[in-house]
Chains A and B, each alone.
Chain A
Amino acid sequence: MSATAGTQLQARIKESREKLDAHVREIVEWHFNPETGSPFWLDFAGKLDWDPRKEVRTYDDLDKFGFFQDEWLRGGPVRRWVPKAYSDSPIYVFETGGSTGVPKSRISVNDFRIDYEMFSDTLSDQYFPKGADWLMLGPSGPRRLRLAVEHLAQHRGGICFCVDLDPRWVIKLIKMGEMQMMEKYKQHVIDQAVTILKAHDNIKCMFATPKLLEALCEKVSLKKMGVTGVFCGGTEMTPQFHRFAVEELMEGAYFAPTYGNTLMGLATHKVPEPEDNWAIIYFPPNPRAIIDVVDPDEPSRLVDYGQTGRVRLTTLTKEFFMPRFLERDEAERERPCDQYPWDGVRNVRPFSRLQTSVVEGVY
């Protein structure tokens, strides 16, 4: 990078940071203002000996809240998360996890639409043509993915066909050792997808989880099916999978890996460069969501660029405020780049210290 380019990037990083700090002030004001805020955060603020609206001025000041506990999202009343400003709006509730016990819930009004419209801006019209129809091949049910992908398709002028997969049932089958039944269920899902793809020529774009994408490509050629762009996510993707997908599954279609969840939104990928050696590098939709990579033993401290640490999420929308949530993932901290002048993450994978308790990558 030339000195001029470096200086320009530094200026953009500074600008994005100022924008983030201003956004933090706006969101904290919104969630802790009795006129607009949610019962949960107003109640939370009532127990503090400091006023978040006065004392939180920058992104770093969010440390004052401590770490967001995922237990807060398990169980009701779910309306305690609805900001007063949206109390008359139609409310969605989306769930994450939930193979055992009470799942985590997040309320939503329009966030899933906004997140996916922002994601849409990162997709190329060449590979994800406007007006083309989509296939959504992945979990629906209590998750937001189906509605979000459907909105993405509609936002781009298409219609979305959906094939469902219930990941909670898949996890149960695995725990019961019913591997043959799991395989039959996967084939049932794939058979439906193949039928849809063969019957509808205008499907050119699709969402699929990594495992379902592999299984689909064992049955059909994406090229022959007319698919030109694949948006993939939902579970861990390794660099080897990334390479395999691009070199062998896509047959010229564009592969767009993503990282995200119901709580955070959607982090998009940086277009791979040869020097990345197929590492998957994600950047969050700053300032609505921020991904930090922190020292697992001291999670308020960021690790250095290139170093491995635990993923820490912060969501800052008017519908949902989630500061400093420690995710069950680890990654390397990635430097800002021209396209995304804020921190990213490289090669996200399950947090190694928790690996024994996580059933990952089953769908």
Chain B
Amino acid sequence: MLHIPIIRKGKPYKSIDVQRVPHFRTRETFVEISQANTGLISRDLRDQESPRAALEHLSTDELLAMSKQAAEYYMHDTLPVGDESQSPDDYVNQLSATTGMPHVLVRKNMNKIYGVMAEMEKVISGLTRGLDLKIIDQGYGVHEGHEVSFFPRTQSLGVILPSNSPGVHSLWIPSIAMKIPLVLKPGSSEPWSPYRIMQAMIKAGVPAEAFSYYPTDHGGSGAILRTCGRGMFFGDSASVGKYASDPRIELHGTGYSKVVIGEDLIDDWEKYLDIIVKSILENGGRSCINASGVWVPRKGREIAEALAQRMSEVIPRTVDDPQAQIAPFANPDIAARISAIVDQGLTEAGATDVTAKYRPNRIVDLEGATYLLPTIVHCESPEHPLANREFLFPYASVVEANQDSMPEIFGPTLVVTALTEDQKLINRLISSSLVDRLNIGPIPTMQIAWDQPHEGNLFEHLYARRAFQRMAAA
């Protein structure tokens, strides 16, 4: 049985407590993962200085070169996983086995992770807004004619990871190039990606002690977030809400991402159908940057109908089918629960599952795996309980609302793609604190530019600028 150990500052540790993760289809144990007890994590994190010192003595240029090299190892090499070896194909198969994600989507996510590692220089430049990287190395320097100085806010970055999509791993990887060690808690069914990224980095020369990897429970996650000076937490609204008032922790909760069409372009909505479909469906609809709402001033029914027709073409396919677009649920009970929530919402007047007429059931089984088929719900009012929901499958509401009430009417939103040339609406979106990431024009919500920080800026999260003056000694 394949066993994934805990990594304690680069050293593997096999725990007596193990979590057995099943294959999504057979439900038989596929991998055993060592579980870290809370005390072990807290004890390890008493010393965060030595991992930081191991990174500090390397220059940013050296770390960028290692990251570039690690990208190749991650993408193409055989790397260790526990006591065994893992080829890139093994990685795809293993990740798919425990999450149900189709191979084609795993490979797309691999490309995303590869892109961040290979283009780390560009990413860091975007995050630091073109800072001369020597300033990070020596702590001070001249930027755009001004003396500047930056200091690390923390000795390590603690990251509580999800299982929904490997693409999110691209968000924490730059921490190493910024010389901040990582303390990772992998998602319970996706231990693979952080482990492989870590191994690729170590093979490329990053000191192993800069990586800690603690599969653990809620208590252990709490210890990581409590003890690391800076944290990143991926989870649902209820989980991340507990840390809402803690500025040390960057929260990545539900996205509620949306496509908004302005009154000026609404009559041309058909031109944007592909963009909307892509925003809802890409990556199996599992990401927080997938659109879960299409907000329009009118023509909602027509748009919902057209989207439903397009979505009804999506069918479950086996994990190795290159045409696969959606992933099954590793736990079929979760699929049933999500579908029941949608059905419960539909019992309230004012919402229609427009996709329902194109298929007999939302839940379908294929070769022992359970899928939720894409679902488009037309909501007559923004107040309907299904108007602003997000689920772990391609789901979107089409909501009619007065555009003068946007974005306040739809609230906090991770990504807005605004299809409008109405400067008044654009200005409202630009000036709103409710919109985290804004695409103006026909850009799918899923399209990421690596030089554009996503949900907070990692450099600003990890480093602070101090007032600084320097004069040569007389």
Contact = CB atoms under 8 A, between A and B. Distances in A.
B43 interface: yes
Contacts, number: 40
A55 interface: no
Interface in B7-63: 15-17, 35, 37-40, 42-43, 46
Given A183-B226, A240-B37, A244-B37, A218 B43 contact: yes
Contact of B16 (A177, A218, A240, A249): A240
Contact of A238 (B37, B222, B226): B37
Nearest to B46: A218
30 contacts: A179-B222, A179-B242, A183-B226, A214-B38, A214-B39, A214-B43, A215-B42, A217-B39, A217-B43, A218-B39, A218-B42, A218-B46, A238-B16, A238-B17, A238-B37, A239-B16, A240-B15, A240-B16, A240-B17, A240-B37, A241-B37, A244-B39, A244-B40, A245-B39, A248-B40, A249-B39, A249-B43, A277-B16, A278-B16, A361-B219
Given A179-B222, A277-B16, A240 B35 contact: yes
Interface in A227-281: 238-241, 243-245, 248-249, 277-278
Contacts of A277: 16
Closest 3 CB pairs of A and B: A214-B39, A240-B17, A240-B16
A184 to B, nearest CB: 11
B42 A177 contact: no
Contacts of A179: 222, 242
A315 to B, nearest CB: 31
A234 B397 CA distance: 51
A248 B44 CA distance: 10
A65 B38 CA distance: 43
Contact of B43 (A177, A239, A243, A248): A248
B223 to A, nearest CB: 10
Contacts of A239: 16-17
Nearest to A219: B46
B242 A177 contact: yes
Interface residues of B, number: 15
Given A240-B37, A277-B16, 13 more contacts: A214-B38, A214-B42, A214-B43, A215-B42, A217-B39, A239-B16, A239-B17, A240-B15, A240-B35, A244-B37, A244-B39, A248-B43, A249-B39
Interface in A161-200: 177, 179, 183
Contacts of A278: 16
Interface of B: 15-17, 35, 37-40, 42-43, 46, 219, 222, 226, 242
A241 B17 CA distance: 9
**Residue of B16, B17, B42, B43 with most partner-chain A CB within 10 A:** B16
Interface string A86-114: 00000000000000000000000000000
Interface in A56-108: none
Interface of A: 177, 179, 183, 210, 214-215, 217-218, 238-241, 243-245, 248-249, 277-278, 361
Given A177-B242, A238-B37, A243 B42 contact: no
Nearest to A210: B39
A248 B15 CA distance: 13
A217 B40 CA distance: 11
Contacts of A238: 16-17, 37
Contacts of B40: 244, 248
A278 B46 CA distance: 25
Contacts of B219: 361
A277 B42 CA distance: 23
A174 B43 CA distance: 23
A249 B17 CA distance: 18
A248 B219 CA distance: 19
A243 B242 contact: no
Contacts of A244: 37, 39-40
Contacts of B16: 238-240, 243, 277-278
Contacts of B39: 210, 214, 217-218, 241, 244-245, 249
A90 B15 CA distance: 49
B341 to A, nearest CB: 20
A213 to B, nearest CB: 8
B464 to A, nearest CB: 22
A17 to B, nearest CB: 33
Contacts of B46: 218
Nearest to A237: B37
A248 B16 CA distance: 15
B227 to A, nearest CB: 9
A132 B39 CA distance: 28
Nearest to B243: A179
A179 B37 CA distance: 18
Contacts of A240: 15-17, 35, 37
Contacts of A249: 39, 43
Contacts of B15: 240
Query: Which of A183, A240, A249 is packed against the most chain B CB atoms within 10 Å?
Result: A240
A345 B306 CA distance: 64
Contacts of A361: 219
Nearest to B245: A180
